[in-house]
Structures are given as C-alpha cells and as structure tokens.
Structure 1
C-alpha cells in the first residue's frame, strides 16, 4: 500500500512530515510512501529511505493561495503531484497538512468523486467526554457551505461505513445535528433530511441531536451541513483551548497550595489534555472521492502526522473506499432499473 504525501504542506514542513512518515513506516511494514517536495530539504530530515521515494518539485501551494486557482496553475506543486499519483494509480491514498481548500479542490478535481456521490463531505473525529477512547464523527465539517437534504442522507451513509470499517462499530448510531430533538425542529433542509434518514432502514438513525449533547456520546456519527458542522468543530476546538489556558492561568494565580495541588494532579491533567487533543484521532477525511484523501492540521507535529498516517493505513487495509464505490454503483443501477421500469409502464 502506497501513500502519496505532500511533504511541503503545513507550518513545520518538511521536518514534522518526514518524522511522522518514518514513524509510520517503521510501524507498518506493508506501507510505502512517495514524498513530493524539495528533495534537498526532505533528505535533510530523512534518517533512511527504506520504502520511501522522493519526487522532487520546487513548486508548492501556500496557505494564502486561492484553492481552485492554485490547483489549476501550480500543476507541478507537491500537492497537485501527490493527488495525480493517486489518480494515475501510482499511490493508494493522498495526505497533506497544507491548504485545506486546495486539498479539497485536488480531491474533487483530480482524484474525482465516486459515481453516485453528489457532494463529498469532510469527516472529522472528535472526543466523547467520560469515555476513555470514546469519539464521534462529524460530517460535513467544512467541505460545503450549503447542502441539500439528499447530501445529508449521503453523509449518513458515508459516516456509517467509516465508523464500521475504521472504528469497528458494528451498527453506528447516526444523529442529525439540529437546534432541538423534536422531528419538526430546524430548517426546511434539516426537516427534509430527518424524513430521509428515518425512512432508510439500513441506518441506525437516533434522531436529532443538539450541539450541547454531542460531546456526551449521543451518536457515533453526527451529520450536518458544512457551514454548521465547521462552526461546531471550531467552537469545540476553541472551547478546549480556552479551558486549558484558563486552567493554567488559575493554577499560576493560586499560590503555593494551588501549584502543589496541580503537581499532584499532573498525570490526570495530562490525560485530560490528551483527551481533548483532536490530532490523536487522525486527520479530516474527504469522504466521497475515489481514494482516501486526508488532511491534518497545518500546525501538526510529527505525532499528529503519524496518527493520521495510521488512520489512512486502517482505511486502506479495511478497503473502505472500494466498499463505498460498490455500494453507490449498486444504488445507481437500482435507480436506472427503476427509471426503465417507470418508462415501460
């Protein structure tokens, strides 16, 4: 299994990217990597080249580049070449810590949508409080500003497959993010989506879920339009960061007794910090395209890169994307047969 890596994407590239790649390479003997970027800079941090190939390019997409324009104009950038490697079946998955918009554009325009998927969505994994390894998936977490009810229905299906194959949940609970739990709550889009999800017997739909409950584990997969999902994601990240900062500030102002108490609770506080660290759950996955396309945060360290590559390894090993391709191909065949039947009638 080969992963194409945009080695120049991210705030600390290529150093952290290379370190994360080598850690994943050393752990997973069935993985190979193709690193796209400036060869001299990559080799500066590379300890050994076992199962790692470097493809040199001086061109890169930076964070302030306009996404679609950058993909079309910077054809020899590390991100575009990594995406093309997947399209041309030289690699099985694509990873970057770079410009999110450009990665989404590369996934859609170069890797390509799965037939039958109308609007791919971005899936993020978030922690569930009170559970040691508890987590839930949120999608769409920012790929689309607006969605139709049928898009949310497809997100539920995509999220279900991810939760089953990657997280090992046999019958994941699907929740629809809304401003109330009652079926009639929300916009016209969420009300229509509620009916679609309720009618799909293949889904374990648990109804509407509110934002103040999702961290409590009310659903394994939370479905939302991209605008709302991204706002909730950023709010959770911001609140977690603010709480850590507030806790540190309180301890520093509490005098000797408070500092001694913090010292005694050091291991517990470290566990809390790790629990709220989203990077340990992997990167954001663009679901609905023909291969795993995964984005890690621009400020990712080598550990976050490693966790994301471990996540991609799981997706490839479980053959999640081929299963999605097969499922939606069957759905398209059913639609075509139904149209033919209606026409004959």
Structure 2
C-alpha cells in the first residue's frame, strides 16, 4: 500500500523576514521531496510572493490568516487575543487532521503555547520538549530540552529522553541512541537533586540505551547521541554554542586579515576546508528544533531563518511524518508508563 504524501502547514508570516524567505524555502523543499504544502498567512502577501516563483509541479494551497504573531508579544496574549494569527491557524489545521505537521520560524514561546493548547499533547506526555541537533566531532547529537521548560522535575527529564530517543531514530537513523544526562560530573551521584533522581529513572527504563552523566565539555565529542537537560540549562548551552561559533569565526577572520603573506596564501589553499566547517556548524543545516510530544509534528525554526534554513526545516517536518516518529514516541512512553507515574508519585 502506498503511503500518503505528508501535508505540511507552513506559517509563512513567521520569522524576521516573513513570506519573502519562508515561501521560496518551503517551495524548494516540496519540489525536491514531493510532499504537499499548506501556506498559511495574509493572502495578499502570500499571493504577491508566489507570483515571483515557478510553482509548476508543486502541490500546495493557500489558507488565509489575517493576523501575525509578533516577536515581542507574550505567548499568552497571542493565544488569547490573536485567534486568526497564522501560527494559530496552522496549528488548527494540524489539530483537525488537514495537515500532518507544522513549520513556524521565530516565536518559540508562541509555538509551545499554540502547540500545547491547540494541537494538544500525546496522552502520557506531561510537557513537550524542544529538541535541537548539534554538530559534534563524530555524528550529530540531539539536546532536549532547549527552552520549552525551564522548571522541571525528574520525570520530565525522563520523558524528554524517551521522546528524543524516537526523534534520534528517525533523523539520525540510529537504532539504539545513546542517552546521557547533562551534569557537573560523569560519575553516578554527581549533580543536583533533579539530575540524580532522573538518573535513577533512566537506570530502570525500558527500550532506551542509557549511558549515564555527561559534562558540558562532552557536548561536541559525539560520545552520546542524546543529551537530556532542563530547558534553562539547554537554552544556555545552545546560545553559548551559537555565540562561540560566531565569535571564533570573526576572530579567525580578523587574525587572517592581519597575518603575513604566507599565512594568507595558506588560507587560500584551505578555503575549501573553512567552507566545510562553516556548513558543519550552521544551524540552517537542520532548520530548527522539533517540539516533541504533540499530536502532530512541529518544527520551530530560528527567527533569522534563511531560505536554506526554511527548506531544511520543512524537509525535516516531512521526514518525521514519513518516519512515523510519533508512533515510536508513543511506544516509548507506553513502555515506561509505570516508571513515569512512579516519578510523579515520589514528588
């Protein structure tokens, strides 16, 4: 039996650049991978942008949304007062079954709020988690959570690991992803109460490959496939990594400009390697973070998403649908249901 083509709703008003970047990125993704699109946004602006592109052979439709969720607005205000915001309309398409997933660049707070209250959580999932993919010396590593939940309990961290396990199997194609908890030491017993109690839950877990604690210095070594932490720590780690990558690039450029002729010639010879490294650390390679634990697939893109980043995010959304990631996630949660309930009961 032929698997139906995924249908991805794209919030084209999201991000810093709106339709001028989101639409061409989404169209390119659909043309390359052959899935269907629903472009959600202010119809006049969407139509104006579409007129600039060749859409022959792309299966899409436009759904009008009169309002836009602005970056400075509180998620609760967007949820209550902007019922016709493009992100809300796109989420309702997923909730009604008209779309399998949504991609929205930019407002992560609104994404979490609309995802939880419009699409809804998978039964058994207490809190959705934002999971992002980080480059390492070896294969990429997934970090969950990176900002959806700043105050967590041990069973939340445990569920983040279960959900990230399903995500890693789909995206990294790793049959048994190695999971570690981010802590201040590798030894068992290191860390705060949150980490220690989550550690005990992972030790008793079914269907996961738990490796123990990992330290901050291990984020880029590739020794584990998944790093679990609360959203406060995860977001700091993510922003620190982004800032460090940018600063190192600028420092290197500055030093090369003031270097000797021989060093500049060496730089020219190594230009290809520099480009490969730049691609390796570029967030646009994966496009965004997956909001795991919802009844539909949700990819939250970077606010400054380029066409390439949007293309990657939309392709990621379609991939997760095709790989039936939520089915595997549900299986992980179900297999460890008693342990999760035990974790709640001990609080």
What TM-score comes out, normalization by structure 2 length? 0.92
Distance 1:203-1:118 versus aligned 2 partners, 3 A rule: same
Superimposed CA distance per residue, residues 80-130 of structure 1 (whole angstroms, 9 cap, x where no aligned partner): 10011101111110111131100111111111111101111110000012x
1:266-345 equivalences in 2 (<5 Å): 266-329=271-334
Q: 1:220 aligns with which of 192, 206, 225?
A: 225
Residue 100 of structure 1: aligned partner: 108
CA drift at 1:23: 0.7
* Aligned mates of 2:301, 2:213 — CA distance in 1: 29
The answer to whether the Cα contact below 8 Å between 1:126 and 1:281 also exists between their aligned partners in 2 is no
Uncovered stretches (5+) of structure 2, i.e. residues with no partner:
1-5, 343-347
**Shift of the alpha carbon at 1:312?**
1.1
Structure 2 residue 171 is matched with structure 1 residue 166:
yes
Which residue number corresponds to residue 43 of structure 1? 47
SS in 1 for 2:216: coil
Are 1:137 and 2:147 counterparts?
no
Stretches of structure 1 lacking an aligned partner (at least 5 in a row): 339-345
**Deviation at 1:330?**
6.1
Q: Secondary structure at the match of 1:216?
A: coil
Q: How has the CA–CA distance of structure 1 residues 190 and 331 changed in structure 2, closer, same or farther, with 3 Å as cutoff?
A: closer
Deviations 1:141-163 (A, max 9, x none): 11011111111111111111111
Task: Provide the residue aligned with 1:28 in structure 2.
Answer: 33
Partner residue, 1:81: 89
SS in 2 for 1:44: helix
Q: CA deviation at 1:201?
A: 4.0
Q: Give the one of 192, 196, 200 matched to 2:197.
A: 192
**1: distance between equivalents of 2:330 and 2:208?**
18
Query: Contact (CA 8 Å) 2:163, 2:332: kept in 1 or not?
Result: no
**CA contact under 8 A between 1:83 and 1:111: conserved in structure 2?**
yes
* Separation of aligned partners in 2, 1:62 and 1:201: 42
Residues of 1 paired with 2:100 and 2:45: CA distance? 25
Aligned to 1:342: none
Distance change >3 Å, CA 152–CA 18, structure 1 → 2: same
Q: Shift of the alpha carbon at 1:54?
A: 1.0
Q: TM-score, normalised by structure 1?
A: 0.92
Quote the offset at 1:326 in angstroms: 4.7
Taking a change above 3 Å as real, the CA distance of residues 191 and 297 of structure 1, as seen in their structure-2 partners, is: same
CA distance in structure 2 between the partners assigned to 1:56 and 1:263 by the alignment: 49
SS of the residue corresponding to residue 294 of structure 1 reads strand
Is this contact kept in 2: 1:126–1:138, CA < 8 A?
yes
Q: Deviations over 1:175-220 (max 9, x none)?
A: 0100000111110110111111112142211110001112001210
In the aligned structure 2, how far is the partner of 1:67 from the partner of 1:257? 54
Cα distance between partner residues in 2 of 1:329 and 1:7: 35
What's 1:68 paired with?
Answer: 76
Moved more, 316-325 or 226-235: 316-325
The structure 2 residue matched to 1:256, chosen from 254, 258, 261, is 261
Q: Give the secondary structure class of the aligned counterpart of 1:106.
A: helix
Cα RMSD (Å): 1.9
Which digits, 9 at most, give the CA deviation of each residue in 1:310-339, with x for residues without a partner? Answer: 11111011111133235535655x69xx9x
Determine helix, strand or coil for the equivalent of 1:155. helix
The number of aligned residues is: 333
